[in-house]
Every structure is written in C-alpha cells, then in structure tokens.
Structure 1
Amino acid sequence: MRAFLLGLTLVLWSHLSARDVETKPNDPAFARFQPKQAPAPQGLLLRPGDRLAIIGDSITEQKMYSRIIETYLAACMPDLQVTVRQYGWGGETAEGFKNRMTNDCLRFQPTIATTCYGMNDHRYTAYDAANGKWYRDNQEAIIKAFKAAGARFVIGSPGCVGPKVPWSKSGSEEMNLNLCELRNICLDLAQQENVVFADVFWPMLTLGWKATNEFGAQYAIAGKDAVHPGWAGHLVMATAFLKALGLDGDLGTITVDLANNQATAGGGHEVISLKDGELTVKSRRYPFCAPTGDVKDDNAIRSGMALTDFNSRFNRLRLVVKNAPAKEYRVTWGGESKTFTAEQLASGINLAAEFSVTPFDTAFKRVDEAVGRKQGYETKQVKSLFHGEEGAVDMEATVALTERARAPLAAAIKEQFVPVTHVIKIEPKP
C-alpha cells in the first residue's frame, strides 16, 4: 500500500510539474529541462516618448537584436516616438553592468530598460548554486536601481549555446541546463520585483531544435561559434523582447470595395486614388522589411521570421478586398505579383508576410542604416571614450562632447523616415 501511495504521489507531482513548465518538444533531448512557465505579456509596456535602454553583453554588442528593435520602433511604430540607446559590452556579466550602470546609463534617465545577461555569468559550465546566487544578487541590484530611478524594466533571460562552445570543456547540454536555471532565476526576479520577463532562452533552444530538423544539422541558431547568433537568432531574440514590451503589431488595414469602387485605409495609411483596381496609398508607417534571404540560412532575418510568429504578431499590414466578383485575383505590389482567391482577399491578406519585395524596402533600409550608424557610435561613446583616456581625464566634458557627436546620428533616423507612396494593383485572373 505504501508503495502504491508513493507511486501515486509521484504521478500527481509529475502532472503538476508539467503544468508549471513550458511546453516541451517531443524529443528526449528536452527531458532534463524544467523551464518554469512564464506569464503572458499584459498590455503595452511602452509609453509615448519613452527612452529605451537596451543592455547586455557581447551578444547585445553585436548590435543586431537591438537594431531590429530600434528600427521596428522607428519605422513601424513611429507614433510612439521612442528613442533608444544600446549598451552592449563584450564579455560582460550582470555584475559588470551593475558597476557601470550609474555612469554609463542612468545618467541619461532611461524611462524603460531591457537587459540580457547570463551567457558569461554561467561561466560555460554546469550550474552551481553559489554562482546562481551571485547572478541573482547582481540582477536584483540592477532592477532595484532602475526602479529607484523611476524606470520600467524588462529582465531578459540569456539565450542558449550551440553544440560545441570552442573555449569550454563542458557539454552543451550541461551548459544549457545551467542557462535554463538562470532563465528561471530571471523569471523569479521579475515576479518578485513586479517587472516584466522576456524569455530568450526557451524560444532559442526549441526553435534551434526545430530549425535543425527542418533545415539541416548545419543550422546554428546560437551562431557558428555556438554563442553569438546570426541574424536568424537575433530575430528570435528581438521577437522575445517585442513580446515582453507588449507591442500589438497592427500596422494598419487597407480595404477595397471593388463593386463600389471605394477604398479606405487606417493606421497611418491614406488612400490617394482608386481606379480600375489600381489603388494608390500614402503611408506614414512602414512594415518591417527584411532583406531577401534563404529561410534555411541561419544568418538571414527571413529565416528567423519563418521560425517565429514575428510576421503574424508584429508585422501585420492587411489588405482586405470586398465584393470581388471573380474567383481569383492577381495582386501586384512593389514589382511582385501573387495570386489569391476572392475568399482569401475578403478575409484579408498580410502584405508584409506575403510579399518579399515591397515598395517600402528602400526607405526602410535608409532608416535601418541610420539606426546602425547611431548604435555603432554608442558603442564607441561608452566603451572607448567614457572608459578611455578622455573619460578618465574629465568624464562630464567627455559626456557633453560625445552627446554633441551622437545628436545628428539620432536626428538622422527621423530624417530618413519619410512617407512612402505606393500602388497596389488588383486584377481578376482570366
């Protein structure tokens, strides 16, 4: 009887614990992982005019997920008027940032911040409780400092490692189990401190598994060195932070009534004309325009889009066509044509997802390149100048001088964001 009760208890415990962890892929490789279930985001965290600080280690200093986020906010959510600074520092731990946060970051009075630490903190080895406490204490100190400064906070988990980290003798499973524990610590801290949690680790690990199954064993979600992701991995990271920030991703709807020759648009778009199925629209909001790339390429943003729900969740520019008498229509947009049924068009199609080449591509690229130039200078500003000879001699003068150099780079982002006039042609297929 005692053996039966013990067995029943273990069964009940396993069912309870299964409800408390994230859904796992059906693969024995995930058996040892226990990622605590994270709560769903609760509404928009960003506010108009926010000053967002994106903070982290060398993965942040790659200026890839941070660039995706800033370009998205500038081009796709311009009404929010959010400004961004990135604070990536190669080799850094949470303790390292804690020691420099007042001088490098808090002086600029961020109203909201994201962090992504844990890769260096986990020391590329198996988990141990003492190291976990050290990590937790430093993360907690950072959160409390930002809260005391009046800033909202998103604590991001670390990502995952790939099959073989060149500079570590530990196995990837042991390292990822360690990173999973640090992820859980981040979640616990978010709940304790009433801040927001961004889950980077579990999507990276599970989508990496999915990608190797779909695209081949050579696919490296965590990057070719097993630590620093390419563009696909950074798109996964950006998606995690955009979710945590509570963004909706509704980029507007364009509605055409073919029978009555009428069209309307909302969400930053204005109908200029409609004649014989040719619609001209002026847009003051862009979709997110990824460069063309192979979905099997781990260094392509479009590969990350194929793995995630980025387009359906954050990149929805919808075309709805009502009262279409033909069965099928050819829709031409940005030099590319695709065929849709009248039923599909009546339900609405996502132009941003359906078309790989768009009329926004050139304008979007200009904004993105301006973001890249500014973020590149921010690395130099903090690492080379604040923490170089100039800062050692006179920090306040160095801050003032570098801010004058940064200002036109920040202004250029807004200057490059201009309305785009484009044409959507809707023709019945013979």
Structure 2
Amino acid sequence: MLNLLLTTKKMRVLSLLFCLSLWYVQAVGQKQGKQFPWNGGQKVLFLGNSITYAGQYVAMTESLFLSSHPKKKPQFINSGLPSETVSGLSEPNHAEGKFPRPCLFDRLDNVLDKINPEVVFVCYGMNDGIYLPFDSTRFEAYKNGIIRLQKRLADQGVKRIIWMTPPVQDDLKLRLNGYNKVLDRYAEWLIGYAKEHYGEVIDLHLPMRQYLEAGIKKDPQFRLAADGVHPGELGHWLMAREIVKHLMPDFSIASTWEDNLRDKPKLRQLYALVLKRQTIMKDAWLTFTGHKRPGLAKGIPLEDALKSYDVMQEEINNLGF
C-alpha cells in the first residue's frame, strides 16, 4: 500500500513537472514574439515566392524597424523567387509551358550556406496548391515541404524561424470562395503545426481575408490584388502590419501605409532608401546564390551591391532617427 502511495505521488510530481515544462516553453515562445533582439550584422532572411520577391512588405517592415531601433542594423535579405513552391508541384502548362515552377529545395542549400542567416521568415502556400481545387495529395506535398524546410533550417543552426501563412487569394469570378478555400486550409494547418512544435507563426491570411471581406461588402469591386494573387501596396501593408504587430507589439502604427508616411515625414525618405536598396540587393543575392527560374534580371556582383548597401546605410544614418 505504501509503495502504491509513493508511486502515485511520484507520478503526480512528474506530471506537474511536465506541465510546468510545457508552460515554460510556451511562455518563452510568447515572450520571444514580443521582443526584437536583432543587432547589427545579423542576417534576416525572407524566403517566399513572387509576393516576397516584389518586396514592399519586406521594405515596409525593415523601415519601421530601423525607425524605431536606429542603433540595431541587421541585414534584411529578400530571397523570394517568383513562381516558387515548397511542395515541388507545378502545372503542366505553367508559364505557357516554358518552364515548371521552381522548387525551393533546388536552391536552399546554396542560399543557407552562402548567407548563413540567424533569422528566417518563411511565406509559402500561394503557389503550392497550383491554383486547383483542394486535393489531399497536393496538401501532403505542401505539408511535407514545410516539415522538410524546418529540419533543414534547424540543421543549419538558424536561431529563429518565423512561419507566415499565405496571403489571401481573390478569385476573379468566385472571389473568396474559389482557390482561397484551399489557402484557408493551408493556413489553418500551418498555424496548428507551428503551435504543436512550439514554433513562431504570424497569420497573414485571416487578417487579409477579413479586410477583403469587409471591403467587398462596401464595394463589390474592391480588390487587394488586381490579378487575384499579387497584392498591391495596401495588401503588402496588411502583411507588414501583422509582422510589425508580432515583433513590436508596443510600436504605434497607423491604419494605412500612407498614413504612416504622412504622420512621420522622415519615414517616407527612409522607406524610399530601403526599397531602393532592397531592389538592388535581392537580385544580387539571387544571382549570387543561384536559382533555376528563367526570366529574372541578373543582379550586379554581390561585392558591388554590398558597397551600394553601405553607401545607402550612411544616407539612412544621416536621416537622424
């Protein structure tokens, strides 16, 4: 009887310790999302498709960070590649049959080995369902790609992985009831996957979906993306806003990007410099690390691009934030 009581007590203690350990991991994860501890020299990599390559949301995020943390100067590196997936899938007639969709894993080793980032943002999903109705096989390919990517980033020693759900898709005919239904499921799974593995995730999809729904109610012709896929400035701002809210929850931001620029005149100058620098650097990095996607502009040699980077950094410093 005594042994049974001791065993029961021991099990209760172990159970309590297990619950406390779970609480601690969750608390650390939540605390991490409320801090922005990056410093000069750190490399912050953005992986994604054409929406990331377009780069406005990356430049907006970097601009707001630099305006609020002028002494910390991490490198924000945009390595988005148009048409890319993590699933490895492609439509038979993609790009009118000129080339299949590139897969991240064809270039990932080079990107990680040559850049060696400390922080990585990941935004895939839009292309991974290849714009067809939901299919479990395609869904598994997307999930397997995300899981494979997490392992590769962990093996690389990346200190912070930040998953982002895919932006909203606005079907030209069906609006939110078309391909976006597929992205709803991809986003829901990614959020659950990140939480299950105590990962860090920023939901871009639902806030953009809600914003689009509200806009359509006011004006049936309202769009976030003229072609249904690639968001304009407003859509990129909605993405940047969620990132900034996650990383700097106490930072005051206006409801629109234009309002931010109007309220903070020096921010307009800063954003122009950051966007110009990002435009130069993304092509230079893509050329330096290599990829299989035809039709992209060749970047200038990385050595020359980094010199331009430093020159523009001096201009940013002179803004006096």
Q: Same fold (TM over 0.5)?
A: yes
Per-residue CA deviation, residues 218-262 of structure 1 (Å, 9 max, x unaligned), is 2212x1001101111111111222233x213447xxxxxxxxxxx
How do 1:33-182 residues align onto structure 2 when only pairs under 5 Å count?
Answer: 42-49=33-40, 50-94=42-86, 95=88, 96-151=103-158, 152-164=160-172, 172-182=176-186
Q: Give the one of 276, 290, 298 matched to 1:387.
A: 290
Distance 1:100 1:379 in 2: 15
**What is the distance in 2 between the residues matched to 1:195 and 1:409?**
35
Q: CA deviation at 1:421?
A: 8.0
Counterpart amino acid of 1:126? P
**Equivalent residue for 1:209?**
213
Which of 242, 264, 268 pairs up with 1:365? 268
Question: Kindly tell me: are residues 48 and 131 of structure 1, through their superposed partners in 2, closer, same or farther at Cα, counting changes over 3 Å?
Answer: same
2:316 corresponds to which letter in structure 1? F
SS in 2 for 1:85: strand
Greater strand share, 1 or 2? 1
Aligned equivalents of 1:421, 1:171: Cα separation in 2: 45
Which residue matches 2:15?
A: none
Given that 1:370 and 1:409 are in contact with CA atoms closer than 8 Å, whether structure 2 keeps it comes out as no
SS in 2 for 1:409: helix
Q: Which amino acid aligns with 1:415?
A: E
Amino acid at match of 1:155: W
Q: Relative to structure 1, is the Cα distance of residues 421 and 384 closer, same or farther in structure 2, using a 3 angstrom cutoff?
A: closer
CA 1:81–1:53: 2 relative to 1, 3 Å: same
Gaps of 5+ in 1: 1-38, 252-287, 306-351, 390-397, 423-430
- Report the alpha carbon displacement of residue 116 of structure 1 after superposing the two structures with TM: 0.8
Distance in 1, Cα, partners of 2:36 & 2:151: 18
**Post-superposition offset of 1:45:** 4.9
Residues 126, 175 of structure 1: 8 Å contact kept: yes
Give the Cα separation in 2 of the matches to 1:412 and 1:365: 18
Q: AA paired with 1:364?
A: L
Q: CA RMSD in A?
A: 3.1
Counterpart Cα distance in 2 of 1:121 and 1:199? 17
The residue that corresponds to 1:328 in the other structure is none
> Counterparts of 1:180 and 1:45 in 2: how far apart (Å)?
29
- What is the SS of the residue equivalent to 1:79? coil
Which residue identity lines up with residue 301 of structure 1 in the other structure? W
**Cα gap change, 1:47 to 1:68, in 2 (>3 Å):** same
* TM-score, normalised via structure 2 length: 0.74
Residues 272-320 of structure 1: per-residue CA shift (max 9 Å, x gap): xxxxxxxxxxxxxxxx7x9xxxx9xxxx733xx6xxxxxxxxxxxxxxx
Change (3 A) 1:137 1:109: same
Gaps of 5+ in 2: 1-28, 89-102, 293-297
Taking a change above 3 Å as real, the CA distance of residues 84 and 187 of structure 1, as seen in their structure-2 partners, is same
**SS of equivalent residue, structure 2 residue 127:** coil
Partner AA of 1:119 in structure 2: M
C-alpha change, 1:47 and 1:100, in structure 2 (3 Å) is same
Shift of 1:171: 7.0
One-letter identity of the residue aligned with 2:124:
Y
Q: What corresponds to 1:409 in structure 2? A: 308
1:236 corresponding residue in structure 2: 238
Structure with bigger RCO (C-alpha 8 Å, 6+ apart): 2
Structure 2 CA distance for partners of 1:84 and 1:420, relative to 1, 3 Å:
closer
Give the TM-score taking structure 1 as reference length.
0.56
8 A contact 2:52–2:81 mirrored in 1: yes
Instruction: Give, in angstroms, the shift of residue 133 of structure 1.
Output: 1.0
State how far apart, in whole Å, the 2-side matches of 1:119 and 1:206 are: 17
Q: 2:200 aligns with which of 196, 203, 210?
A: 196
Identity of aligned residues (%): 18
Matched with 2:96 is none
Do the aligned residues in 2 keep the contact of 1:51 with 1:83 (CA within 8 Å)?
yes
Alignment of structure 1 residues 243-282 onto 2, 5 Å: 243-244=245-246, 246-250=247-251
Q: Quote how far apart the aligned CAs of 1:405 are.
A: 1.4
In structure 2, do the counterparts of structure 1 residues 173 and 83 end up closer, same or farther at CA, with 3 Å as the change threshold? same
Deviation (angstroms), 1:418: 4.0
CA contact (8 A) 2:110 2:290 kept: no
One-letter identity of the residue aligned with 1:44: Q
- Match in the other structure for 2:279: 376
Seen in structure 2, the aligned counterparts of structure 1 residues 243 and 40 have a Cα distance that, compared at 3 Å, is farther
Work out which of the two has the higher radius of gyration on C-alpha atoms and give 1 or 2: 1
Name the amino acid aligned to 1:230: G
